[in-house]
Amino acid sequence: MKTSLVHVLLISSFFFSLSIGESQSSDSCASKLTVARLIPVINTTFLSCLTPLRSANFVLRYAKAGPGIWSFVLSAADPKSYVAVGFSGDGRMVGSSAIAGWITGSGAGIAKQYSLGGKKSSGCPPDQGDLLLQGTPVVALQSSRLYLAFQLNVDQPPPYLIFAVGPDNGFPSSPTFLLPEHRDENSISVNYTALGVATSDSGGGEEEEGGEGAFGAERKHALLVMLGWGVLMPIGIVVARYFKNWDPLWFYSHLSIQGLGFGLGLAGVILGFGLDDDGISGVGVHEGLGIAILVGGCLQVTALLARPGKASKVRKYWNWYHHYVGRAAVVCAVANVFYGFKIAEETKSWNIGYGVFVAVWGFIAIFLELRRCASEE
């Protein structure tokens, strides 16, 4: 009986300790901030609250502490890495400034400001940025939660906040203190005149450009152009060259595919004109190629309207023009898609995915060309 009672007590105490641990490591806007003694430089009593990155249990508290002074306290379940909050005037990461904090292996808290000049670690140097800090930021660890607190000297902070959490055990280290690539991120826009109100929230996804979540304007531009001029138009070329025995189906298929491809590509170019290049190196070449491809596509459309009859003496010259201008435009489009991925420092999955399509398309084209040559012998 005593043994059973001891077992019951041990099990009960075990689950009680688990529940205490869970409550200590969690935080929410409904919870009272209990780290005032750890963050003596900030009055933590009257802070507004947001939950900007739910996947990492981020809780941001902020308030206007006085004339030209704003206080921020970011809390997160200990990520065994760094946490960061960036401030942007237009919602874009590149060109903004951020405060990152982490706990070292020895238990010391470190916080640094970073200038986010690119999407790679080397483009985000520490101890640089446009934020004017009031005093020294504080980083503390309590009850399995990481706290990053700081104050800014500004009449009103930039409207977009960008949040990131580093990879597992991905700590910035001496002497460079460069930030390893984050494992998750999100952005929100904040209406500071109505404290505590987030006017847009992309829900804790991967990409945050412009507050549009994983599919911002840049990726929409890339997807439209890639599908239109980088996928559909190459397919249309194959249809026109190797399936003429399916007359007139090949012609209407070719016309439909190229028309849809041109429309998608045109929409992508129009969207691209509205993008801010953020000082990205090489964007001028990308834009120049895009305009040249657009001109080539427009010439193809106008040439269709002036298409001579099959019996006309100039038909063969029109065919040469139509074939070679179209092929040149598609080759430039494929190259520009890859170049766009490069200058945007896009993830490898985009290059790999599109590269697989180009390889498969090339293999099919070569196979059909060999078969065509064999049939003509």
pLDDT of 232 strictly over 90: yes
In a domain, 42, yes or no: no
Same domain, 182 and 221: no
Average of pLDDT values for 270-291? 77
Same domain, 122 and 227: no
pLDDT of 367 strictly over 90: yes
pLDDT of 198 strictly over 60: no
Which range is least confidently modeled, 35-49, 237-251, 290-304, 339-353? 35-49
Percentage of the chain modeled with pLDDT above 90: 35
In a domain, 26, yes or no: no
Residue 115: which CATH number? Answer: 2.60.40.1210
pLDDT of 19 strictly over 50: no
pLDDT of 215 strictly over 60: no
In a domain, 200, yes or no: no
In a domain, 25, yes or no: no
Same domain, 221 and 364: yes
pLDDT of 22 strictly over 60: no
Residue 361: which CATH number? Answer: 1.20.120.1770
Same domain, 234 and 363: yes
Model pTM? 0.52
pLDDT band at 280 (very low <50, low <70, confident <90, very high): low
Same domain, 170 and 244: no
Average of pLDDT values for 334-352? 85
Same domain, 124 and 254: no
Percentage of the chain modeled with pLDDT above 70: 80
In a domain, 367, yes or no: yes
Same domain, 147 and 248: no
Same domain, 77 and 151: yes
**The pair of three-digit structure tokens given for residue 112, joined into one six-digit string:** 């640094």
Same domain, 225 and 370: yes
Same domain, 73 and 162: yes
pLDDT band at 8 (very low <50, low <70, confident <90, very high): very low
Q: How many structural domains does the chain have?
A: 2
pLDDT at 13: 36
Strand pairing class (96-103; 83-88): antiparallel
- Three-class secondary structure assignment of 186-208: EEEEEECCCCCEEEEECCCCCCC
How far apart are alpha carbons 185 and 296 in whole angstroms? 39
Average of pLDDT values for 46-59? 79
Q: pLDDT by residue (tens digit) across 135-144? A: 889 998 888 8
Same domain, 304 and 346: yes
Average of pLDDT values for 261-283? 79
In a domain, 304, yes or no: yes
Average of pLDDT values for 76-99? 90
Average of pLDDT values for 275-281? 59
Residue-range definition of the domain harbouring residue 354? 217-376
Higher-pLDDT residue of 4, 220 = 220
Higher-pLDDT residue of 26, 272 = 272
pLDDT of 189 strictly over 90: no
Same domain, 164 and 303: no
